[in-house]
Structure 1
């Protein structure tokens, strides 16, 4: 019985302690705290409503989530739209570089085919003339009875005539050997010209195919970007433009603040000043992919034409400019140098000093001046190094 009473008392004590220490009981929980100051009378406190996230940007009819992001979400923020449009134009820029390179090579190969065709015609004319000359020699020998000149000389009874004939025979033999050698070379040259022309023609056709493939890719990516951008409401398009400017400014500020560029106003070379004057004079002209002026440009069309105007021809595409031109450090760059952007070297601008570039941005934009650090820099090349 005593054990039962003790157990019952212990259980009662545990329950009491649990009630006193429960949150909000205000009893045991405040046993060791200073008493709270009296509060002014007022309405009973109410619990705050849960936070509500701002609604996503509503997509216009006809625009699916796949147009904006691969995740398949039903809506996306304007900044996500901006990034998607930027990615589409980046793909178009890369395809434009492929198109320009194929176009440049096709033009070169076409000129080579024309030159080789002309060589083939000249070679055939030369070969025909040599064959005619060889035929005349053979006919002359036939008219002499078919005997070699040595035999004919042995039959003559005049010693002086014999000696003169020996000299002429030697000269004739030498001329015949030279004629045969030249005829052989002409035939070999003609074969070589024909084979080279065939190879160049195959390369020309391959680059024409690459051009067409790149053209389709460019058209596809630009159309997707324009569809996405044009389908936004007018106010959202205005906000999108502002977001582009804000993103560029943020990147430029971070780049300058990083100390990547210590000296911003180095002196340009004489050729650099000419190239720079040409490039800046094109501001306001529209970007058109594949264009090299004078009324419109793409990014590498602008830089290649600017340096051509300065008397320094450079590769046509930004990727070839990055691959072939001498490189310099970002901290060493001066006005006139070319800054190559993105990991695939698909964009290029010309440094003008003061931390800025002049460039042809993308379809729907004009040649303009912007911060050199507003895009991801791959490196710097100097055409006149």
Structure 2
């Protein structure tokens, strides 16, 4: 009678067991002399089946990529990491400002509380003096006084003290309101600080995740392929071409439009070869906006921290107006910046694994330029 049970799916173990059983069955028919050969055949069959299954599983889990595809994916991840780095820099700057403002408000609250305590003590002294002299009716005090003139002087002093007391009470009330306002502002600043810190950690995790993914992709390559890929800066020419460009640019003086621009360019040349370190502003490592900020700081100009804010610092200029020292920005999200040095070249901090170097501004999609004031 036919079975109505649903046939079970055959697992890898079942497949291998069936193969082995079939082979041992043949062994039983051929006798003991065939046992060794059969066992050898069984071993080969098991290894073949397991190997084939492993290849299929690996192919499904991790599709192979060509070196060109790995490079494209690594470049994409590095670009996304750089965009997240600029957001991290912005959150870090905001966190720092919020912390400084919170510290100032706390100091102000402590100072105001000290003044309030002093005012309260003064008011207490006035109240004590009034209490001591206020037990007898003023008319009786005048009648009993041996010196009416002295009494009148004391009475005038008490009246003035009463006025001072009223003013002191009013002042204390005002100080209490001011302290409450400062504490309220401090509470708001605490909330802002926590929000900034959360954003900071979020962007930090994003950067680390993108860089980890890029490193995992690079690990798929051979040493030769990896060296060839990392020879470039992730945006264009290889390291040798960049070095040649740097030597060419440094043969003659850069004709900057003013002393400050010349100082910024000189600083950037001094940073050549230093590593890209995300979130860093030097002097041992830089990210892209950290380098431009440090270069112009050396020239006495304070630039904001991120590419998003640096592009609005100074005079916006067209590509045809570029002069050494200008900031050049790239990508639609304005996520990368370099320092223009003339002849279509810039100095920039490209990405992790690629040190500060000279590169053509044509290697990335141009987004705009700014001339710091």
Question: Fold conserved (TM > 0.5)?
Answer: yes
Following TM superposition, by how much is the alpha carbon of 1:83 offset from its aligned partner in structure 2, in angstroms?
2.0
Q: CA–CA distance in 2 between the matches of 1:150 and 1:64?
A: 110
Alignment CA distance shift 1:273-1:148 (3 Å): farther
Instruction: Say whether 1:198 aligns with 2:187.
Output: yes
Of 207, 215, 234 in structure 2, the residue corresponding to residue 218 of structure 1 is 207
Match of 1:275 in 2: 264
Aligned with residue 282 of structure 2, among 290, 293, 306: 293
* 1:107 aligned onto 2:96: yes
In 2, are the aligned partners of 1:307 and 1:313 still within 8 Å (CA)?
A: yes
Match in the other structure for 1:10: none
Contact 2:235–2:350 (CA under 8 A) maintained in structure 1: no
Contact 2:233-2:354 at 8 Å conserved across structures: no
| Residue 178 of structure 2: aligned partner | 189
3-state SS of 1:373 partner? helix
Q: Which moved more, 1:307-316 or 1:107-116?
A: 107-116
Tell me: CA distance 1:246–1:345, structure 2 relative to 1, closer, same or farther (3 Å): closer
Question: 1:377 aligned to 363, 366, 369, which one?
Answer: 366
Q: Which consecutive unaligned segments of at least 5 residues does structure 1 have? A: 1-60, 68-73, 250-264
Q: Secondary structure at the match of 2:363?
A: coil
Please give the alpha-carbon distance, in whole angstroms, between the structure 1 residues aligned to 2:194 and 2:319: 40
The whole-number CA distance in structure 1 between the counterparts of 2:282 and 2:58 is: 35
Name the CA distance, whole Å, in 1 between partners of 2:139 and 2:117. Answer: 29
SS, match of residue 334 in structure 1: coil
Distance 1:150 1:304 in 2: 78
Match of 2:331 among 318, 323, 342: 342
Cα 1:144–1:312, aligned 2, differ >3 Å: closer, same or farther?
A: same
Unaligned runs of 5+ in 2: 1-55, 239-253
Of structures 1 and 2, the larger Rg is shown by 1
Please say which of residues 217-226 and 170-179 is displaced more in the overlay: 170-179
Per the normalisation by structure 1, the TM-score is 0.71
Q: Shift in Å at residue 328 of structure 1? A: 1.4
Structure-2 change in CA distance of 1:152 and 1:133 (3 Å): farther
Matches within 5 A, 1:1-385: 74-146=63-135, 160-161=149-150, 164-165=153-154, 167-169=156-158, 171-241=160-230, 247-248=236-237, 267-384=256-373
Task: Indicate conservation of the 8 Å contact 1:82/1:244, yes or no.
Answer: no
The alignment yields a C-alpha RMSD, in angstroms, of: 3.1
**In the TM superposition, what is the alpha-carbon distance from 1:183 to its structure 2 partner?**
1.2
Query: C-alpha displacement at 1:123, in angstroms?
Result: 1.5
How far the C-alpha of 1:201 sits from its partner, in A, is: 1.2
Kindly tell me: are residues 152 and 102 of structure 1, through their superposed partners in 2, closer, same or farther at Cα, counting changes over 3 Å? farther
Q: Using the alignment, how far apart are the partners of 1:246 and 1:116 within structure 2?
A: 46
- Relative to the length of structure 2, the TM-score reads 0.73
**Count of matched residue pairs:** 304
Helix, strand or coil for the counterpart of 2:301? coil
Deviations 1:206-233 (A, max 9, x none): 1111111111100110111122123212
Instruction: Provide the C-alpha distance between the structure 2 equivalents of 1:343 and 1:171, rounded to a whole number of angstroms.
Output: 72
Larger helix share, 1 or 2: 2
Counterpart-to-counterpart distance in 2, 1:318 and 1:140: 66
CA contact (8 A) 2:71 2:229 kept: yes
d(CA) in 2 for partners of 1:360 and 1:152? Answer: 88
Q: Which range is displaced more, 179-188 or 269-278?
A: 179-188
